[in-house]
């Protein structure tokens, strides 16, 4: 049988080594009022519960129910331990950041007489901070701000490395990272933010277009880089046509989702088109670069030989196995999809 409120109050008072008079003085009540509470003659006013629970080191819920809530206390203790662990973990990083910065600062000055590679260390630690510690301080718009800060800190690191090495590759690297972030986050941004509500239905097409634009910017930057190193222009003759074909192919494949049929049949048709777009170009594409054309000519499933696996056949053998798997999947999905489609009709 559980304790009454009076019994529970008396038990907790005695655990605190308080007399009725001492408890009454703390609460600015009379000793007789506390005595009546413990005898069950009366109960304290509800406004007294916060102060009373604080004095007796129990929660208001435990005071009202006259019982110890072990589960709640366990959860609170775990929460305190977790908070302590988080604080310790953060201090660990901050202390290590400080040690690394101070050590590299002193070593760089002592060895070189100036600060040179120290800036690489500093920018690398900045990137580490934005990846690991910064998200805690961002309360709103995390999905937008965290990738932005990560990109900026990475660009700073790339710029410092390019300056230190006297390299001219900074723009190639920075646009490459931008392309990767665009491919990952643009579909998420369009799906998440209300500003894109009108185009959410066409998320994949819009994302493909933005990726196509950034890809071509990257290709132009790479061409500028290669032109400075004596390589002939290749963007208009080779890269752009291939990029356009891939872009159109992706849009054609994705447009199949608008067909009014079941998902299995759509999947089968998508696999069929994907197979055509992947395996046909090596047979028909002709480029001006002899080395690239030779690679395309060598990549031919008709030249595969599964009984021989060496340097000259391994690419085509793998190509053939992928083709066979895709043919099997296309056949299965299309057949089941057609059956369901006509049954529904």
- pLDDT > 90? residue 309: no
CB-based contact 294:285 (threshold 8 Å): no
Quote the pTM value.
Answer: 0.65
CB-based contact 55:16 (threshold 8 Å): yes
The 10s digit of each residue's pLDDT in 127-180 is 999 998 899 889 888 889 999 999 999 999 999 999 999 888 999 999 999 999
- Region 276-297 average pLDDT: 64
Q: How many CB atoms neighbour CB 81 within 10 A?
A: 10
Confidence of residue 185 (pLDDT cuts 50, 70, 90): very high
- pLDDT > 60? residue 56: yes
Q: Which CATH number fits domain 5-68: 1.10.260.40, 3.40.1390.10, 3.40.50.300, 1.10.10.10?
A: 1.10.260.40
**Mean per-residue pLDDT over the chain, rounded:** 85
Q: What is the largest CA-CA distance in the chain?
A: 104
Residue partners of 215: CB distance under 8 A and separation at least 6: 179, 243
Please report, for the chain, the start and end positions of each structural domain, with discontinuous segments joined by +: 5-68, 259-345
Residue partners of 221: CB distance under 8 A and separation at least 6: 171, 172, 175
The 10s digit of each residue's pLDDT in 15-37 is 888 888 888 888 888 888 888 88
Q: Report residue 65 as tokens.
A: 């129910």
């Amino acid at each position: 049988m559980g304790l009454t409120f009076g019994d529970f109050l008396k038990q907790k008072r005695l655990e605190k080594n308080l007399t009725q008079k001492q408890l009454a003085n703390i609460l600015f009540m009379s000793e007789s009022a506390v005595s009546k509470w413990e005898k069950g003659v009366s109960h304290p006013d509800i406004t007294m519960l916060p102060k009373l629970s604080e004095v007796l080191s129990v929660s208001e819920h435990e005071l009202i129910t006259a019982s110890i809530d072990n589960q709640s206390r366990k959860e609170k203790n775990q929460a305190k331990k977790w908070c302590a662990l988080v604080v310790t973990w953060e201090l660990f990083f901050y202390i290590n950041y400080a040690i690394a910065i101070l050590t590299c600062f002193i070593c760089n000055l002592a060895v070189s007489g100036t600060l040179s590679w120290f800036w690489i260390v500093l920018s690398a630690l900045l990137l580490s901070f934005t990846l690991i510690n910064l998200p805690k301080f961002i309360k709103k718009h995390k999905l937008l701000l965290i990738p932005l800060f990560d990109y900026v800190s990475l660009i700073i690191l790339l710029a410092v490395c390019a300056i230190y090495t006297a390299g001219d590759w900074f723009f190639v690297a920075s646009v490459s990272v931008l392309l990767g972030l665009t491919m990952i986050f643009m579909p998420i941004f369009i799906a998440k933010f209300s500003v894109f509500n009108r185009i959410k239905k066409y998320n994949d097409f819009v994302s493909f277009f933005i990726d196509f634009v950034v890809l071509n910017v990257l290709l132009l930057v790479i061409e500028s880089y290669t032109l400075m190193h004596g390589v002939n222009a290749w963007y208009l003759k080779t890269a752009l046509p291939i990029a356009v074909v891939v872009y159109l192919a992706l849009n054609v494949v994705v447009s199949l989702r608008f067909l009014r049929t079941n998902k299995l049949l759509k999947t089968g048709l998508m696999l069929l088109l994907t197979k055509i777009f992947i395996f046909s170009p090596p047979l028909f594409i002709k480029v001006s670069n002899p080395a690239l054309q030779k690679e395309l000519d060598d990549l031919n499933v008709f030249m595969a030989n599964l009984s021989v696996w060496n340097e000259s056949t391994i690419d085509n053998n793998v190509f053939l196995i992928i083709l066979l798997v895709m043919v099997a999947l296309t056949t299965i999905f299309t057949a089941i999809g057609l059956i369901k489609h006509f049954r529904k009709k």
